[in-house]
Amino acid sequence: MLDTCKYPMFDTFKNRLEIRGKLTTITALRISADRSSDPTGSDLPVIKDALDRPLIPGSSFKGALRSRLESFLRGINPKLAANPAIEAEWSITNDLHNQLKEEVEAEPVETRDQLLTEKIIQKTDLVSRLFGSPWIASKFQVRDLTVDPDTWFDQYEERDGVAIDRDTETAAVGKLYDFQVVPAATEFEFRAVVENAEPHELGLLMIGLHQFATEQIPLGGGRSRGLGVVRLDIDKMRWIDVEGDPDKLITYLQALVSGDADENSTYEDGKQHKDTWIQALINHLRENIAKSSPTPQNSSGD
Return the DSSP state at 244. Answer: T
Mean per-residue pLDDT over the chain, rounded: 85
Provide the domain limits for residue 98.
83-124
Same domain, 64 and 35: yes
* pLDDT-derived band at 30, boundaries 50, 70, 90: very high
Q: Please give the residue that has the higher pLDDT: either 68 or 45.
A: 68
Beta bridge partners of 147: 188
- pLDDT at 142 (0 to 100): 98
Same domain, 43 and 162: yes
What number of residues does the chain have? 302
Residue type, 37: S
Torsional sign, CA 156, 158, 159, 165: positive
Does position 299 have pLDDT exceeding 60, yes or no? no
C-alpha closest to that of 7 among 140, 121, 125: 121
Question: Does residue 11 sit within a domain?
Answer: no
Does position 301 have pLDDT exceeding 50, yes or no? no
Does position 263 have pLDDT exceeding 80, yes or no? no
Same domain, 201 and 255: yes
Same domain, 178 and 244: yes
Same domain, 145 and 174: yes
Residue type, 175: K
Tell me how many degrees the CA angle 158-161-165 measures, rounded to the nearest 5.
Answer: 175
CA–CA distance, 257 with 95 (Å, rounded to integer) = 47
Q: Give me the mean pLDDT over the 231-237 stretch.
A: 97
Question: Does residue 205 sit within a domain?
Answer: yes
How many domains, the chain? 2
Which bin fits 279, alpha (ψ -120 to 50), beta or left (φ > 0)? Answer: alpha
Question: Does residue 4 sit within a domain?
Answer: no
Q: What is the pTM of this model?
A: 0.84
